[in-house]
Structure 1
Amino acid sequence: MPLPISGARARARRTNTSVFRPGVQRSLCALLLAVGLSNWATAQTTEPTTTPAQTLTLQAALQAAQARSYALAAQDAAALAAREMAVAAGRLPDPMLSLSVDNLPVDGPMRFSLTEDFMTMRSVGLTQTFVREGKRRARAARFEREADTAEAARVMQLAELRRDTALAWFERYYRQQIVALLTRQREEAALQIEAADAAWRAGRGAQAEVFMARSAVARIEDRIREATAHEANATTQLARWVGELATAPLGEAPPIGRTPAAAHHLAERIAHHPDIALMASKEAVVRAEADVARQDKRADWSASLMYSRRGDAFSNMVSFAVSVPLQWDQKNRQDRELAARLAQAEQARAEREEMTRAHLAETERWLTIWRSNLERLGDYDDSLIPLAGERTRAALAAYRGGQGALAAVLEARRTEIDTRLERLRIEMETAALWAELEYLIPADAEIGSIAAAPQALPTDTQEPQR
């Protein structure tokens, strides 16, 4: 069934068929398509000449995410608490003051009298437990190791925050690129409809080509809707880290062809991985607890002094006392506890070694794929995309010369656009791998500044990290 044609279009059709020869009509269609393809190729290579005044660069996103994070402030508070406990653990226990009335008669003529019976005494005493200095140092050192663990956890939180923020930033950046590319593809596909319709009205093309062009536009619009949804989700994920800045225009992407992980000996660098450092600090805590258990094998002793006052007719008294716990079953109590702590330390060491191997293998895999993707991107830039463009131009030249079909031109252009989309997908994957490698370990200077100057707790006006 032929397409419905309005009166104006019917008159135009009669005019076209009566005035222009078939060869001229083909040349006009080719010219229309050539202009569209030229505009599309120019859009692929033209860089923006102006930059928005307020753009969200990757570095700005990282700084915003760090400023908004409650996780870092929580670890600062944990480290402060542990260091305060370390000071308290290094001191002697508080002395104990005791007040008592001894031998108070409760019957007879002297009942409830504090002074008549010579055995009744009103006493005040002071007891002090003396903990050895070595044991106090061991207990303080344990809390110091807990503070180190909190600082290591902060470094790990910082590394994860930066990595996740960078991944979210790159996700939104490349989703925008995909939407822009598909939008340009839709505009070029609309020209396909015009060219196919003009050729059909001129009697030089089949009506099926018109339907084919319209179907291509419908498929592209469906892909645009899908890509737009992915872009919205990427913006939502970025807002989880940077808040309202997520909707700001993005700046230029940083170069992803270099990373410190590729320039250093990987095994040595992995030793400073935040996860490994955290495991090492937890191992140090357990070893400090083992040292405390070792010191507990030597019992503490307590000394007491008591002054007792009796009636005026009787002499006052002073009492001295020393008490020492009897560790009569050390092999089943203190020794067992020490052995348990040492076993826990060995467990922590083994887990750290196993995690080191896992991170080393994972990072080597990332580096291999990252290097391979960089080579693939070079192949796309040097050969695949230029060849796809040459194919499009060759098909267009053949169509102009009457040696090719319009379908071949459209297929060549679709192949070129699909090639560009595939390159964009590979670049997005490469950027994600670069973020994993780039923020694998925070810079030493940053770690030092973090330890030297912990951040203040966020105020109530800041949005908490979810």
Structure 2
Amino acid sequence: MGLERKIWEMFLCVSVLALSASFAQAESYTLERAVKDAQVQDPWLIGSMKRQESLEALSIESGSLPDPSVSLGIANLPIDTLDFSQEGMTQFKVGVSQMFPRGKTLSLKREKLQNLSEMQPHAREDRNAQVAVTVSQLWLDAYKSEQTIRLIEDDRALFEHLVDVAQSSYTTAAGKTRQQDLVRAQLELTRLDDRLTRLRQQRDMALARLGEWLGNPSISLSENTSLGNLIPLSAPELIGASDLSQKLRQLSESLSRHPKIKSLDKKIKAFDSGVRVAKQSYKPQWGVNASYGYRDQTPMGDDRSDFFSVGVSFDVPLFTGKRQDKKVQSANAELEAVKTERALILRQLKSGYDAAEAKHVRLSERKSLFDTRLLKEMAEQAEASLSSYTNDDGDFAEVVRARIAEINARIEALHVDIEIQKNIAQLNYFQAGK
């Protein structure tokens, strides 16, 4: 038993130390730092750079001539004696041949692969913009839960005060307080505790998802955070602009510079080069060959002259209906498909921006309503109901409802502020090419 107790105590000590170390290693992240760290640590970017490196290497390889062919052989060797010097036509031959691709095939293939490789920097820029949106939303989700917890914890004292007021009024029988009022007050306090537990669960889940992007399982949020200018709007002049035609022109120009569209522009250039590669199939393919034939001396010892041969070969693409024509047709179809993809992505970006802008306008209206009227009126209603109750002129249930409504309004106002920041992050993504 003594040994088992020592082992158990050692285990507890190790567990406490490990837990303390995990808390000690917890890092505090501002939104800006979280976005930058997530972008730096994104393994997708490394894969993109490797794809670009691969395509650049292939472009160099595809622009090179094919290797020449070398042939070695013995020609016209008599089979009766296998004597190399018996016949005058017997010779040892060395030949070299070189094929030349059709037209400008090499340079066009290299151009196509080079354009495909140049897609990757724009793809990485788009990825960084997407990561900024994703990490911002995860950070803001955790921040929303954390700030909601603080609001409820601050207001929990009000419900504790209500319980005390109901308890005092009930025990002294000085007012109209009933036992069910006391139970109701305690019930709402318990429901607040349950709500806090659920919010802590949401916060911990958001922090865990955020930690995946940051490569750190133990993180916390910076306490010195103000929602005022947390995420600056990249193009504030476009929101609610009065000159619609100018706004549409500026938006169209901005979206056409979006990294996703730039990447597709490079892809279109690559497939356009593919069409020109296909058209080179109408041109002949040339080849050059040369050979040297060595002959031995005659049986009498006289020298024989060696042979040298040179020639040119080429094919003649006469029957193009089922080969070259279809090849060009296929390349043109692929090019048009990519152009259609670009138009579709551009339409999606425009639609996404319009939806995000409409949401921003309505969220701003809600924020103004909360700031100027709703929060103030909710607080006045709660104070009035409590004052009426303490003067024996009100219902306790109404006091509780008013307090709950006030807390919910303050929480909703916080959520509106955070949704505005999320919305700005989304709007900034559409302006990534600005």
How does the TM-score come out when normalised to structure 2?
Answer: 0.83
Where does residue 73 of structure 1 map in the other structure?
46
Alpha-carbon distance in 1 for matches of 2:70, 2:406: 89
Contact 1:163 1:440 in 2 (8 A): no
Where does residue 281 of structure 1 map in the other structure?
266
Q: Which letter maps to 2:370? A: Y
Where does residue 333 of structure 1 map in the other structure?
323
Q: Tell me by how many angstroms 1:68 deviates.
A: 0.8
Contact 1:58 1:253 in 2 (8 A): no
Q: Which letter maps to 1:69? A: D
Which residue, 403, 409, 428 being the options, matches 2:418?
428
Q: Which letter maps to 1:437? A: L
Where does residue 85 of structure 1 map in the other structure?
58
Q: Tell me by how many angstroms 1:131 deviates.
A: 3.7
The change in CA–CA distance for 1:249 and 1:357 in structure 2 (over 3 A counts) is closer
Alpha-carbon distance in 2 for matches of 1:235, 1:54: 12
Q: Which letter maps to 2:156? A: R
1:165 aligns with 2:140: no
The correspondence of residues 168-183 of structure 1 with structure 2, limited to 5 A, is 168-183=138-153
1:290 aligns with 2:290: no
Equivalent position SS for 1:330 = coil
Equivalent position SS for 1:94 = coil
1:207 aligns with 2:179: yes
1:125 aligns with 2:95: yes
Q: Tell me by how many angstroms 1:86 deviates.
A: 2.3
Alpha-carbon distance in 2 for matches of 1:246, 1:375: 37
Equivalent position SS for 1:156 = helix
- The number of aligned residues is 389
Q: Which runs of 5+ in 1 are unaligned?
A: 1-52, 445-466
Where does residue 442 of structure 1 map in the other structure?
432
The change in CA–CA distance for 1:326 and 1:408 in structure 2 (over 3 A counts) is same
The change in CA–CA distance for 1:372 and 1:99 in structure 2 (over 3 A counts) is same
Which of 87-96 and 285-294 deviates more? Answer: 87-96
Alpha-carbon distance in 2 for matches of 1:257, 1:96: 64
Q: Which letter maps to 1:280? A: D
Which of 149-158 and 337-346 deviates more? Answer: 149-158
Alpha-carbon distance in 2 for matches of 1:187, 1:126: 95
Q: Tell me by how many angstroms 1:400 deviates.
A: 4.1
Equivalent position SS for 1:122 = strand
Q: Tell me by how many angstroms 1:253 deviates.
A: 4.8
Contact 1:158 1:442 in 2 (8 A): no
1:149 aligns with 2:119: yes
Equivalent position SS for 1:332 = coil
Q: Tell me by how many angstroms 1:256 deviates.
A: 6.0
Alpha-carbon distance in 2 for matches of 1:257, 1:233: 23
Which residue, 223, 229, 234 being the options, matches 1:260?
234
Where does residue 301 of structure 1 map in the other structure?
286
The change in CA–CA distance for 1:400 and 1:196 in structure 2 (over 3 A counts) is closer
Contact 2:207 2:220 in 1 (8 A): no
Alpha-carbon distance in 2 for matches of 1:379, 1:257: 22
Where does residue 243 of structure 1 map in the other structure?
215
Alpha-carbon distance in 2 for matches of 1:61, 1:71: 17
For residues 105-125 of structure 1, what are the alpha-carbon distances to aligned partners after superposition, in whole Å with 9 as ceiling and x for unaligned? Answer: 4x42x23x4444433321111
1:185 aligns with 2:175: no
The correspondence of residues 9-88 of structure 1 with structure 2, limited to 5 A, is 55-88=28-61
Alpha-carbon distance in 1 for matches of 2:84, 2:154: 104
Contact 2:95 2:292 in 1 (8 A): yes
Where does residue 200 of structure 2 map in the other structure?
228
CA RMSD between the two structures: 2.3
Contact 1:262 1:367 in 2 (8 A): no
For residues 33-59 of structure 1, what are the alpha-carbon distances to aligned partners after superposition, in whole Å with 9 as ceiling and x for unaligned? Answer: xxxxxxxxxxxxxxxxxxxx9631111
Equivalent position SS for 1:403 = coil
Q: Which letter maps to 1:357? A: R
How does the TM-score come out when normalised to structure 1?
Answer: 0.78
For residues 210-241 of structure 1, what are the alpha-carbon distances to aligned partners after superposition, in whole Å with 9 as ceiling and x for unaligned? Answer: 11011112211222222111111111111121
Equivalent position SS for 2:215 = helix
Where does residue 98 of structure 1 map in the other structure?
71
Q: Percent identity?
A: 23
For residues 77-126 of structure 1, what are the alpha-carbon distances to aligned partners after superposition, in whole Å with 9 as ceiling and x for unaligned? Answer: 22222222223333322222222222334x42x23x44444333211111
Contact 2:146 2:203 in 1 (8 A): yes
Q: Which letter maps to 2:59? A: A
Q: Which runs of 5+ in 2 are unaligned?
A: 1-25, 239-249, 299-303
Alpha-carbon distance in 2 for matches of 1:185, 1:220: 10
Where does residue 21 of structure 1 map in the other structure?
none
